[in-house]
Every structure is written in C-alpha cells, then in structure tokens.
C-alpha cells in the first residue's frame, strides 16, 4: 500500500505563543518534499509538532498517516506507526550505547515475541554502518556522546535506515556536514526512497538538494508555507536568496514568534 501523509490547517503554539499558523501539506508514497526557509520561520517547530513533542501544543488542524489520526497518538505510537524524525540537534544519552538504543527502538516497533535476534541485529547494523562509512566503534559508544556534528547526523541516518519508517522527516540533516559526509548521507536517503515511504526534508540551503532531488519544494515564512514549486524553486533560492519571495509576497519580517 502506498503511503499517504496529510497535514491540514495545522496550528501549534509554544508556551501560548502561536508559531505554526495553518500548515497544509500532502506527501504521497515515493515523494520527496523539501521545506526551505530562513531561520526562525517555524520549520523545526513543524517537525516537533508532527512528532508529538510535549512542548508544542497543537491548537488546530489534523494530521493523518494512511488515514490514521496521528495527533491522537502518543510519541511512541507515532514512531510505531512509522514516523521518523532526524533531529536538528540530536540528544546525547550517557549510559545507553548506540546499539542498545537502536535495538530497543526496533523492538518497540515489533510485536512481543517477535523481537529481532541479536545476531541479525548486529549484522544489519554493521552493514548499514559500513554503507555510511562509520567507524564500527560507534556501535558501542554512548548515544551521540562526544560525537561531532557530522557523526551525529550520520547516526541519525543510520537510525532511519534501521527503523524502516513510512514517513521520514529530516531537520537540517545537512548542517555541519562536509561535502563527503553530505554525499554519504544523501546516498543513504536516496537508497531509502521507495513507493511506500515519503520524505519531508527541512533545509536552509539548497546544496543537499543537489544530491537528493525533491519532487516538491515549499518555502516557509511566518509559520506558513508561503510558496510551493518544483526543484527549480530551490535553485532560484540558491541563486537569489529569499528576498525576492518576501518582496513578491509583501513580507517584511519572515520570522515568527519573536517577542
């Protein structure tokens, strides 16, 4: 079955301040959507609200994955339903190794009694780490502790590959990556493109989109999607920046939620 992810009129507030002011977005299976925009326009807020972060209160709208109401689900349920977020700033967890974390995450998505065997898990993890050109020692390091920015991002992609999600959200996965790491991360994403999986790629710059060709590009400003187009929109933003969008739409300050 092909995946269908649908956001309608989504509004979200942080500490009583409205940040998302009505987001509409449909992502079909096999599609890659890019959300671009200057800093402070609500991109990460959208990612957090979709994943059910408790700080981000949803005040209006609906989100469905294959017809199921995502907003009704708790954070764990969303993950089990197939939502995956690679965070802009992944957390460090001392005392939990990368392998332990991933194995628990995989098993949490499986029925009781159907847990992945240790040997199968280790083989899979080793294989994926090799694809991502990660040092095998990262298997037993504490989650993200002391990882460089680029290592954290690769590790997020490793999690994505192992968890086999239906809807992947990548929040600035390209930030802090040198060109080799960027290529490896992009190859990992491209290898995961499939008919039953959709992607929402949040990025500030278009350089990632030189490696991952999006089907649709959306520009976010003031907590809304203000413009949508194809890959050529990302190229124009790269060449000309965001000012022409602001001028076209009569936007003076593109940020949202400033005091």
Interface positions with Mg ion (CB under 5 A): 43-44, 88
**Residue 82 in contact with ligand ADP, rule: CB under 6 A:** no
**By C-alpha distance, which of 204, 184, 229 is closest to 39?**
204
**Residue 44 in contact with ligand ADP, rule: CB under 6 A:** yes
**By C-alpha distance, which of 211, 220, 145 is closest to 177?**
211
Binding to ligand ADP by CB under 6 A, coded x per residue (else -) over 118-157, reads ----------------------------------------
How far does the chain reach from its first CA to its final CA, in angstroms?
Answer: 45
Minimum CB–partner distance for residue 41 and Mg ion (Å): 9
Q: DSSP letters along 166-178, please?
A: SEEEEESTTTT--
CA distance 149 to 185: 13
Is residue 10 a contact partner of residue 23, using CB atoms and an 8 Å limit? yes
The site for ligand ADP, by CB under 6 A, has a size of 15
**Residue 104 in contact with ligand ADP, rule: CB under 6 A:** no
**Residue 161 in contact with ligand ADP, rule: CB under 6 A:** no
**Residue 14 in contact with ligand ADP, rule: CB under 6 A:** yes
**Residue 89 in contact with ligand ADP, rule: CB under 6 A:** no
Q: Which of 27, 37, 200, 218 binds ligand ADP (CB under 6 A)?
A: 37
Q: At 131, which helix (H) or strand (E)?
A: helix 118-131
Q: Which of 3, 45, 159, 203 binds ligand ADP (CB under 6 A)?
A: 45
CA distance 57 to 59: 6
94: partner contacted, choices ligand ADP, Mg ion, none (Cβ within 5-8 A by kind) = none
**Residue 59 in contact with ligand ADP, rule: CB under 6 A:** no
Nearest CB to Mg ion, comparing residues 128 and 152: 152
Q: DSSP letters along 64-109, please?
A: EETTEESTTS-HHHHHHHTEEEE-SSPPPEEEEEHHHHHHHHHHHT
Contacts to ligand ADP by CB under 6 A: 14-15, 19, 37, 39-45, 55, 256-258
């Amino acid at each position: 079955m092909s995946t269908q992810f649908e956001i309608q009129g989504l509004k979200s507030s942080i500490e009583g301040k409205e940040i998302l002011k009505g987001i509409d977005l449909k992502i079909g299976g096999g599609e890659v959507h890019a959300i671009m925009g200057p800093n402070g326009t609500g991109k990460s807020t959208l990612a957090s609200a979709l994943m059910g972060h408790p700080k981000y209160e949803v005040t209006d709208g609906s989100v469905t994955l294959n017809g199921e109401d995502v907003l009704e689900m708790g954070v764990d349920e969303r993950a089990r339903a197939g939502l995956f977020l690679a965070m802009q700033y992944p957390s460090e967890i001392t005392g939990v190794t990368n392998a332990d974390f991933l194995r628990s995450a995989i098993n949490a998505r499986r029925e009781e009694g159907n847990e992945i065997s240790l040997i199968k898990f280790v083989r899979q993890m080793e294989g994926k780490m090799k694809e991502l050109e990660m040092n095998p020692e990262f298997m037993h390091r504490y989650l993200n502790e002391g990882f460089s920015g680029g290592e954290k991002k690769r590790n997020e992609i490793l999690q994505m590959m192992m968890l086999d999600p239906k809807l992947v959200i990548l929040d600035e996965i390209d930030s802090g990556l040198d060109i080799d790491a960027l290529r490896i991360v992009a190859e990992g994403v491209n290898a995961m493109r499939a008919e039953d999986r959709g992607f929402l790629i949040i990025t500030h710059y278009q350089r990632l989109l030189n490696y991952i060709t999006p089907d649709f590009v959306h520009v976010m400003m003031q907590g809304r999607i203000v413009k949508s187009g194809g890959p050529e929109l990302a190229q124009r933003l790269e060449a000309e920046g965001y000012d022409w969008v602001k001028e076209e739409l009569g936007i003076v300050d593109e940020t949202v939620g400033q005091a």
